[in-house]
Homo-oligomer: A and B are copies of this chain.
């Protein structure tokens, strides 16, 4: 009862997405209407300065909302690293240079508000699931394809974290034995074939080979080669770019198939930097899924129409996930 009264007196929630280059904060009231948001550059010169940046982002977002800290019931934070949600301790966050830092307790003390932490990919999963109209599915996966590849799993309506917070690390499952070397040390990991840098490397390699034989592709045009440009060129009909995006799509479709066969998820939503290419990113995955369906009645049965999709354009899953985290009691299974 005391908690409820307190919640009524503190109707606002804040979600914070702590990135290696920027920290974004979002203030929302009941019903998840956005009231204010702010962004500051991440200063990683010391843990104290990074925490100062988080506090500044929260304060600016509140100022934009015309609100005060005393109205905030809880703050949720998505952290790019390994997090102990129960204690609020960040075990390691490489890009922030954090190791064994009690971020939750430190921020709670400074701000006078309970702070709930989660790994950012998992926060994004939770955010996409709860707020992007996906929670009609009880068994659901989010696959983020960017510099790396990671999945978040909702099983039986709950976030499945696993005892070592390793659940969903499908980027380091071997999908092509003897394939390209991965940063993790293994060969043929999904990430080493279908993440942004791998797509770029494949495009470069094919460009070099092609330059010696059958002439230029759209990708030979001046300017830096990016993953986004590979997808744009594929969209414009460039053969070389299409080969590259089809290969990535084929392995991502295999990853979807494996997730369905392993966890029986009903829906898989893609997000992350590479997925921002939209249809150019999703179409090759759908084509590959169609091939699987045609080859196998079992695959046709489990790979249902509408199985895969993209996050809505511009949807800030990690930020909304951090906000959803602030709404979730720390004793919930989400935090277990």
Tell yes or no: A208 within 8 A of B by CB. Answer: no
Of A173, A176, A259, A261, the most chain B CB neighbours within 10 A belong to A261
- Assess A173 versus B263: contact at CB under 8 Å? Given A155-B155, A163-B138, A186-B299: no
B266 adjacent to A166 (CB under 8 Å): no
Tell yes or no: A66 within 8 A of B by CB. Answer: no
B260 adjacent to A166 (CB under 8 Å): yes
Determine, out of A7-15, A290-298, A311-319, the stretch whose residues face the partner at the interface: A290-298
Chain B's nearest CB lies how many Å from the CB of A167? 4
A336 and B157 alpha carbons, distance in the complex (Å)? 12
Chain B's nearest CB lies how many Å from the CB of A315? 25
A156 adjacent to B160 (CB under 8 Å): yes
Chain B's nearest CB lies how many Å from the CB of A73? 27
Q: List, in ascending order, chain B residues with CB within 8 A of A260's CB.
A: 166
A170 adjacent to B261 (CB under 8 Å): yes
Contact of A168 among B151, B155, B262 (CB under 8 A): B262
B264 adjacent to A167 (CB under 8 Å): yes
Bits for A160-184, please: 1 = Cβ < 8 Å to B, else 0. Answer: 1111111111101111110000101
For window 102-147 of A, CB contacts with B under 8 Å fall at: 138-139
Q: List, in ascending order, chain B residues with CB within 8 A of A224's CB.
A: none
Tell yes or no: A305 within 8 A of B by CB. Answer: no
B262 adjacent to A163 (CB under 8 Å): no
A166 adjacent to B302 (CB under 8 Å): yes
Tell yes or no: A222 within 8 A of B by CB. Answer: no
A139 and B168 alpha carbons, distance in the complex (Å)? 14
Contact of A296 among B186, B254, B263 (CB under 8 A): B186
A261 and B153 alpha carbons, distance in the complex (Å)? 12
A263 adjacent to B264 (CB under 8 Å): no
- Assess A258 versus B174: contact at CB under 8 Å? Given A162-B264, A164-B264, A333-B156: yes
B138 adjacent to A169 (CB under 8 Å): no
Tell yes or no: A306 within 8 A of B by CB. Answer: no
Q: List, in ascending order, chain B residues with CB within 8 A of A292's CB.
A: 186
A297 and B265 alpha carbons, distance in the complex (Å)? 30
Bits for A175-201, please: 1 = Cβ < 8 Å to B, else 0. Answer: 111000010111100000000000000
B185 adjacent to A295 (CB under 8 Å): yes
Tell yes or no: A257 within 8 A of B by CB. Answer: yes
A299 and B186 alpha carbons, distance in the complex (Å)? 8
Which residue of B has the minimal Cβ distance to A304? B164
A211 and B201 alpha carbons, distance in the complex (Å)? 44
Q: What 6 A-B pairs have minimum CB-CB distances, sorted nearest first?
A: A162-B264, A185-B296, A167-B264, A166-B264, A173-B258, A184-B298
Complex A-B: 24 CB contacts under 8 Å: A138-B163, A139-B163, A151-B262, A156-B336, A160-B263, A162-B263, A163-B266, A164-B264, A164-B302, A166-B260, A167-B263, A167-B264, A170-B261, A170-B262, A172-B261, A174-B257, A175-B175, A175-B177, A176-B177, A184-B299, A185-B296, A185-B299, A258-B258, A262-B262
Q: Give 15 new A-B contacts, CB below 8 A, not counting A167-B263, A169-B261, A185-B296.
A: A138-B163, A139-B163, A153-B263, A160-B263, A163-B266, A172-B296, A173-B262, A174-B257, A174-B258, A175-B177, A185-B298, A185-B299, A258-B258, A262-B262, A263-B263
